[in-house]
């Protein structure tokens, strides 16, 4: 194979000499998103997602049969760390029993979720200790300021459950969980194995149960979609299951094949099946994409084509699940999904999650996911996205302003200002509650009169996304 880099996310070379830092937020205004897109963290996150994605493609076996990677597949072996992570998720689920939803009057989101978050927070260190080896967690204690790996991992773990303040959950929280797993990977917390073995165990054995737990939290505590675009978004809460789920149904490959860009696994359900309740009911048992669709059926009433027009349109794609998944080059040529051709779930993720200020603004950067510039990154041109995005909210003049009481929790179901950046107004906002775009700020900013075509280009990293893991790639092999 050729030697293009970044096939597999690099790991920490010499953990004992590694200096950890307490992760902190770096994305303060919309302009900072461009810096993020050329950071090492961004490269790592994309690499990690592509690495997991690749592992979910069905495998051609030497005997010409095909091995698909379905939910609960016996063909996926769970290593000890995977099992520990599963236990961690079960413990978190048990906390729901301890904190039943409040039965008092409420507007929408259930206040008890705040308590659930507090309990998780208070037990996070213990839960991590039970889950991961002490030597991994304590790495770094003798270096520099004595910040440990635990401190970094905990930041991402705690960012994974939604906002206790706003009682919502969105793709930014999902991203945090992917980073938590990626951090463990970087610390060599998963055993060495053939390409894809641990990755698919992570997706099926950890990410899928995580998503199930999230769905339970959403239903139990009535969590709002963070930053919902209503019907004009892919999904109210999630993105990852659509990426990995479409890979599950793509054509089978052998380890050295390029990742397919079209076609489907033999006998895969027709993408149009998402609009048919009986097919969804069947497929959600084995496939992440349909599991996510199934949840939409659980919580929404109304015609599918109306409440989920994006997913409905995608279901009309004739070139198969490979096309739906298609990663393609990572530069985007347009924000508007409807009008411009973006190709596939991963590109869409790049545009709609990683490039959106309200989503990534709360992502903390430490040593594992570093704010440092990636020397190989190609800087994004100045674009609509970075120039017309909402700016930080101007400081309110003292004059004439009231004294302001302590920040109150979001009372649920409201719009947040996309520009809002105060406190932990987080990932995005809610269905009832609109956030000011400029507060914390801006999902895509208002296209000014001159920017309606909204072309935007993201940084280009070498397009190795369809290539199998190569020999030159940094691997965890010693």
Partner 1 sequence: MSDLDRAIEQLRACRLIPESQVRELCYKARELLIEEGNVVSVDAPVTICGDIHGQFHDLMELFRVGGDVPDTNYLFMGDFVDRGFYSLESFLLLLCLKVRYPDRITLIRGNHESRQITTVYGFYDECIRKYGSANVWRYCCEVFDYLALGAIVLGASSELEPTSSTVNDTAQSNLAIADSELETEVLDSRGHVTMSTYRPRQRSSSDASTDSRNISPPRDISAAPGQVAAPSRSGAPGTGASSDGNGSAVTSRTGAVLCVHGGLSPLIDSVDKIRLIDRKQEVPHEGAMCDLLWSDPDEIEGWGLSPRGAGFLFGGDIVKQFNHLNGLSLVARAHQLVMEGYKEMFDGGIVTVWSAPNYCYRCGNVAAILELGEDASGGGTVARSNGEFGRSNGISGDNRVVSPGRRYRVFEAAAQDTRGMPAKKPVADYFL
Is the CB of 210 or the CB of 337 nearer to partner 1? Answer: 337
Residues 403-422 that bind partner 1 (CB under 8 A): 403-422
Handedness of CA 11, 12, 13, 15 (dihedral sign): negative
Q: Which of 5, 197, 336, 457: binder of partner 1 (CB under 8 A)? A: 336
Q: How far apart are CA 89 and CA 91, in angstroms?
A: 5
CB atoms within 10 A of CB 325: 30
Segment near partner 1 (CB under 8 A); pick from 188-196, 251-259, 296-304, 360-368: 296-304
Between CA 270 and CA 318 the distance in angstroms is 9
Which C-beta is closer to partner 1: that of 284 or that of 323?
A: 323
Part in contact with partner 1 (CB under 8 A); list of ranges 12-20, 46-54, 183-191, 299-307 = 299-307
User: Shortest distance, CB of residue 340 to partner 1, whole angstroms?
Assistant: 6
316: number of Cβ within 10 Å:
9
Considering only residues 40, 54, 114, 166, which one is a binding residue for partner 1 as defined by CB under 8 A? 166
Nearer to partner 1, 400 or 478 (CB): 400
The DSSP letter of residue 416 is E
Q: How far is CA 416 from CA 117, 394, 425, 457, in A?
A: 21, 17, 8, 27
Can you tell me which of 158, 197, 279, 317 binds partner 1, judged by CB under 8 A? 317
For the CB of residue 446, give the shortest distance to partner 1 in the complex, in Å: 4
Site for partner 1 in 63-122 (CB under 8 A): 105-108
CA atoms of 246 and 322, how far apart (whole Å): 7
Query: Which member of 10, 220, 331, 343 binds partner 1 (CB under 8 A)?
Result: 343
Strands 433-435 and 415-416, sheet pairing: parallel
Measured distance CA(202)–CA(297) in Å, rounded: 26
Q: Which of 13, 62, 65, 401 binds partner 1 (CB under 8 A)?
A: 401
Could you tell me which residues are beta bridge partners of residue 66? 60
Considering only residues 416 to 475 of the shown chain, the ones binding partner 1 according to CB under 8 A are 416-423, 425, 429, 431-447, 449, 452-453
Among 316, 375, 471, 477, binds partner 1 (CB under 8 A): 316
Q: How many CB atoms lie within 10 A of CB 227?
A: 29
- Within residues 214-273, the interface with partner 1 by CB under 8 A covers 225, 228-233, 236
Contacts with partner 1 in 30-69 (CB under 8 A)? Answer: none
The contact mask relative to partner 1 for 185-214 (x = CB under 8 A, - = no) is ------------------------------
CB nearer to partner 1: pick between 78 and 297: 297
Dist CA 288 CA 52 (whole Å):
13
Residue number with CB closer to partner 1 (20 or 438) = 438
DSSP-H helix ranges across 168-283: 171-186, 197-202, 208-221, 240-248, 277-283
Q: How many residues lie near partner 1 (CB under 8 A)?
A: 92
Q: Residue 419 contacts by C-beta under 8 Å, 6 or more apart in sequence?
A: 390, 391, 392, 393, 436, 437, 438, 439, 440, 441, 442
In the complex, the smallest distance separating the C-beta of residue 309 from partner 1, rounded to whole angstroms, is 7
Which ranges of 132-207 does DSSP label H, i.e. alpha helix? Answer: 134-137, 149-158, 171-186, 197-202
Nearest distance from residue 14's CB to partner 1, in Å? Answer: 43
CB of 179 to partner 1, least distance (A): 24
Name the phi and psi angles at 219, rounded to 5. Answer: -75, -40
Q: Give the number of C-alpha atoms closer than 13 A to the C-alpha of residue 278, restricted to the C-beta side.
A: 0
CA 418 – CA 426 distance, rounded (Å): 10
Q: How far is the CB of 13 from partner 1 (least distance, A)?
A: 40
The token duo for 105 is 């009057």
In the complex, minimum distance from the CB of residue 231 to partner 1, in angstroms, rounded to a whole number: 5
CB of 240 to partner 1, least distance (A): 19
For partner 1, the closer of residues 281 and 298 by Cβ is 298
Residue 64 or 449: which CB sits closer to partner 1?
449
């Amino acid at each position: 194979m050729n030697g293009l880099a970044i096939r597999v996310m690099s790991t920490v070379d010499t953990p004992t000499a590694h200096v950890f830092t307490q992760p902190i937020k770096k994305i303060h205004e919309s302009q900072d998103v461009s810096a993020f897109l050329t950071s090492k963290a961004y490269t790592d996150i994309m690499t990690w997602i592509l690495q997991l994605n690749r592992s979910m493609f069905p495998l051609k076996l030497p005997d010409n049969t095909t091995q698909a990677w379905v939910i609960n597949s016996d063909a996926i072996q769970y290593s000890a760390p995977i099992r520990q992570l599963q236990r961690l998720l079960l413990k978190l689920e048990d906390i729901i029993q301890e904190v039943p939803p409040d039965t008092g009057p409420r507007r929408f989101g259930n206040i008890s979720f705040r308590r659930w978050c507090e309990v998780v927070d208070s037990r996070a260190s213990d839960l991590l200790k039970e889950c991961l080896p002490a030597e991994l967690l304590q790495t770094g204690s003798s270096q520099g300021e004595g910040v440990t790996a635990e401190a970094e991992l905990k930041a991402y773990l705690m960012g994974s459950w939604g906002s206790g303040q706003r009682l919502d959950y969105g793709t930014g929280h999902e991203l945090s969980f992917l980073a938590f797993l990626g951090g463990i990977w970087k610390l060599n917390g998963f055993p060495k194995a053939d390409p894809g073995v641990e990755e698919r165990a992570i997706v099926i054995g950890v990410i899928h149960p995580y998503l199930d737990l999230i769905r339970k939290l959403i239903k139990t505590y009535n969590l709002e979609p963070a930053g919902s675009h209503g019907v004009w978004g892919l999904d109210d809460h999630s993105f990852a299951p659509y990426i990995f789920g479409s890979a599950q149904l793509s054509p089978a490959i052998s380890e050295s094949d390029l990742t397919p860009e079209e076609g489907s696994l033999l006998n895969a359900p027709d993408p149009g099946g998402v609009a048919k309740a009986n097919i969804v009911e069947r497929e959600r048992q084995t496939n992440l994409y349909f599991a996510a669709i199934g949840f939409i059926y659980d919580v929404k009433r109304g015609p599918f084509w109306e409440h989920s027009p994006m997913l409905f349109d995608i279901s009309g794609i004739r070139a198969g699940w490979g096309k739906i998944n298609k990663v393609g080059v990572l530069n985007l040529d347009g924000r508007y999904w409807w009008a411009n051709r973006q190709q596939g779930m991963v590109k869409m993720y790049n545009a709609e999650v990683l490039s959106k200020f309200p989503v990534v603004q709360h992502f903390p950067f430490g040593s594992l996911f570093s704010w440092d510039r990636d020397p190989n990154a190609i800087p994004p041109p100045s674009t609509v996205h970075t120039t017309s995005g909402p700016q930080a909210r101007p400081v309110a003049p003292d004059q004439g302003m009231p004294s302001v009481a302590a920040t109150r929790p979001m009372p649920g179901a409201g719009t947040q200002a996309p520009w809002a950046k105060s406190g932990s107004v987080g990932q995005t906002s809610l269905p009832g509650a609109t956030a000011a775009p400029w507060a914390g700020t801006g999902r895509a900013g208002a296209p000014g009169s001159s920017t309606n075509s909204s072309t935007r280009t993201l940084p280009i990293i070498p397009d190795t996304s369809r290539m199998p893991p190569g020999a030159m790639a940094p691997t965890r092999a010693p």
